[in-house]
Structure 1
Amino acid sequence: MITLLLLLIAYLLGSIPSGLWIGKLFFHKNLRDFGSGNTGTTNTFRILGKKAGSVVFAVDLLKGTLATLLPAMLGLHTFSPALFGLFAVLGHTFSIFDHFHGGKAVATTAGLILGYNPVFVLFLLVIFAITLYLFSMVSLSSVIAAIVAAISVLIMPAFHVIFGSYDWLFTIIILFLVGFIVIRHRENLARIHAKSENIVSFGRNLTHQKHNI
């Protein structure tokens, strides 16, 4: 019963639509009506600015982290803590407070990984930053970091790099979330192919996309 209750709490925690609520409360804007229509970090940066985007990123990240840490905080060790982080990600992407809409799962998945293995999330952050510098696209950087995460959880534990051993439930969850993240970015990938994806104002833009954020 306690496990089911914590999973519900994790889902509700993840369901907090920080971008949507901040936009409505402080900017009188519904993010669904602007830009990509997404309520996640990138669209918040684009529509509401750096401060709001930073707050939304922090909240969405911490939702995944707190949910992942919930069982340890209560002394529950029945399942991998990643399971609780997964429910937060599902809440983030299918929010009960936003008609089961939400973000693209990147920030909250990063929060899950932060709660599970902080060193691993730092490694993925380096991958994200390098990709962002080379290609100037948050979307592509997110997808590349996700794919690297999938490969890493399959290989690294075998060599005791970052991970001491395999946690197969964590591995399965990460593989699922990586596939989910890629699918959620399919429109971005199509725009990248068409050379029309939004780019940030720094970096090399090696694929010569046309649109600036």
Structure 2
Amino acid sequence: MKTAILLVLAYLLGSIPSGIWIGKLFFKKDIREFGSGNSGTTNTFRVLGKTAGLVVFAMDLLKGTLATCLPLIFHLDINPLWFGLIAVIGHTLPIFAGFKGGKAVATSAGMLLGFAPLFFFYSLAFFLIVLYITSMVSAASIASAIFVTLSSIILPYIWPTILPTQNWLLTIVCLALTCYIIYRHKENIQRIKDGTENRVSFGLNKKEK
């Protein structure tokens, strides 16, 4: 019974539509009506600015982390990844926002932070490098998702300090999320091919102000 309740709690945590709530509460805007129409971190940066974007990113990240830590907090002998995955599902299909949510990147990262902190920072470093090179959040998100999946297989053998043991559930979850992230970014991928993808004001190819 406790497990079922906490899984529901993980889903509800993931369902918190941070971008929508911040936009409506502080800016009187529904960010789904502006920019890309997405309720996630990137569109929040674009529509509401840097401060709001950072707050939404932190909220989306930490709800994944908190959900992943639920079995540790309540002393359940269950792999925390299940709770993190449920939170990601909540983020992408939020009950508080008509089951239309974000692209899973920030909350997936929060899941990694809760499950394997060193692996999270290792992955974050790769994300920032790709973001610096491309100046495109979408490209960095897709590349990082693929990188994380491959790293979950390889790291226990070549760099066990970062990821000490082989965890096939981690690899399966990362692979599933990678497929989903690529699917949700299909329009971004087409814009990258066309050379019209939005760029951020950071990195080697940053947009001009």
Task: Specify if TM > 0.5.
Answer: yes
| Matched AA of 1:114 | L
Q: Secondary structure at the match of 1:56?
A: helix
Which shows bigger deviation, 109-118 or 148-157? Answer: 148-157
Whole-angstrom CA distance in 2 between matches of 1:186 and 1:157: 31
Deviation string, structure 1 residues 57-101 (Cα, Å, up to 9, x no partner): 000000000000000001101x21011000000000100011101
- Contact 1:200–1:212 (Cα < 8 Å) also in 2: no
Deviation string, structure 1 residues 21-53 (Cα, Å, up to 9, x no partner): 111111111111100000110000000011111
Whole-angstrom CA distance in 2 between matches of 1:120 and 1:12: 26
| Matched AA of 1:198 | N
- Counterparts in 2 of 1:14-25, with a 5 A limit? 14-25=14-25
Whole-angstrom CA distance in 2 between matches of 1:169 and 1:179: 15
Runs of 4+ in 1 over 4 A off after TM superposition: none
- Counterparts in 2 of 1:50-89, with a 5 A limit? 50-77=50-77, 79-89=78-88
- Contact 2:118–2:163 (Cα < 8 Å) also in 1: no
Please name the residue that 2:47 is paired with. 47
User: Kindly tell me: are residues 137 and 175 of structure 1, through their superposed partners in 2, closer, same or farther at Cα, counting changes over 3 Å?
Assistant: same
| Matched AA of 1:141 | A
Whole-angstrom CA distance in 1 between matches of 2:208 and 2:62: 28
Cα RMSD, aligned residues only: 1.4
| Matched AA of 1:84 | F
Percent of aligned pairs with the same residue? Answer: 56
Task: Give the deviation of 1:159 after TM superposition.
Answer: 3.8
Whole-angstrom CA distance in 2 between matches of 1:165 and 1:185: 31
Deviation string, structure 1 residues 87-132 (Cα, Å, up to 9, x no partner): 0000001000111011110000000000001111111111111111
1:4 aligns with 2:4: yes
1:148 aligns with 2:122: no
Task: Give the deviation of 1:182 after TM superposition.
Answer: 1.1
- Contact 1:199–1:212 (Cα < 8 Å) also in 2: no
- Counterparts in 2 of 1:92-103, with a 5 A limit? 92-103=91-102
Whole-angstrom CA distance in 2 between matches of 1:50 and 1:160: 35
| 5+ residue gaps, structure 2 | none
Task: Give the deviation of 1:160 after TM superposition.
Answer: 5.3
Q: Secondary structure at the match of 1:163?
A: coil
Q: Secondary structure at the match of 1:189?
A: helix
Whole-angstrom CA distance in 1 between matches of 2:84 and 2:193: 32
Whole-angstrom CA distance in 2 between matches of 1:102 and 1:112: 17
Task: Give the deviation of 1:158 after TM superposition.
Answer: 3.3
Whole-angstrom CA distance in 2 between matches of 1:40 and 1:202: 19
Which shows bigger deviation, 91-100 or 175-184? Answer: 175-184
Whole-angstrom CA distance in 2 between matches of 1:204 and 1:141: 13
Please name the residue that 2:196 is paired with. 196
Q: Secondary structure at the match of 1:196?
A: coil
Please name the residue that 1:26 is paired with. 26
| Matched AA of 1:14 | G
Q: Secondary structure at the match of 2:36?
A: coil
Whole-angstrom CA distance in 1 between matches of 2:158 and 2:132: 29
Task: Give the deviation of 1:164 after TM superposition.
Answer: 1.7
